[in-house]
Amino acid sequence: MQVLKKPPSGWPALVLNADYRPLSYYPLSLWPWQEVIKAVFLDRVDVIATYEQTVRSPSFEMRLPSVVALKSFVAQDRPPAFTRFNLFLRDAFACQYCGSMEDLTFDHLIPRSRGGRTSWENIVTACAPCNLAKGGRTPREAGMIPHKHPARPTMHQLQDLGRRFPPNFLHESWLDYLYWDIELEA
């Protein structure tokens, strides 16, 4: 991961919740500058830090925000949506049988052909070779037991897991609001 002193391309702003924590860690909540300016004018966000870059129109001039915080708190306690992304995130992008992080697919613990459902409780992340090896068998028949018993994660758990996947680059003005161990490069 790189820490940039120059603004990242497109001047995105890090978006914080009203408690000054990132709205989302993974993907990191970044808005393009056009959206940020709109939110400033609609009075939905406070500007916490800015880039040097300014935008001008005949009637105003402002520095582009690099960090903004929502004025009203967005509760993160709703149950996470059952999506491919969230399922991979729950399993930390690792095959639940062998730990591989490549060639990931979804495996129905109880195969669909045997009445298994497509649900948080019956799907795990599996690499293609493990998925193929397990085939249409149950974990017990195949002798393949997932590392973790699959369950519906909470938003909080997903956020925590997301912190394990920092993006490739960060702007230095974002660092105070992220809780990664980051070594600053000169």
Residues that bind Zn ion (CB under 5 A): 95, 97-98, 100, 127, 130
- Minimum CB distance to Zn ion, residue 133 (Å): 8
The rounded distance, in Å, linking the Cα atoms of 117 and 44 is: 41
- Minimum CB distance to Zn ion, residue 106 (Å): 12
Q: Is 139 helix (H, G, I), strand (E, B) or coil?
A: helix
| Closest to Zn ion by CB, 1 or 101 | 101
Among 113, 118, 147, residue whose Cα is nearest residue 130: 147
| Closest to Zn ion by CB, 33 or 97 | 97
The rounded distance, in Å, linking the Cα atoms of 178 and 175 is: 5
Q: Which amino acid is at 108?
A: H
- Minimum CB distance to Zn ion, residue 131 (Å): 8
| Closest to Zn ion by CB, 14 or 94 | 94
Among 19, 17, 11, residue whose Cα is nearest residue 37: 11
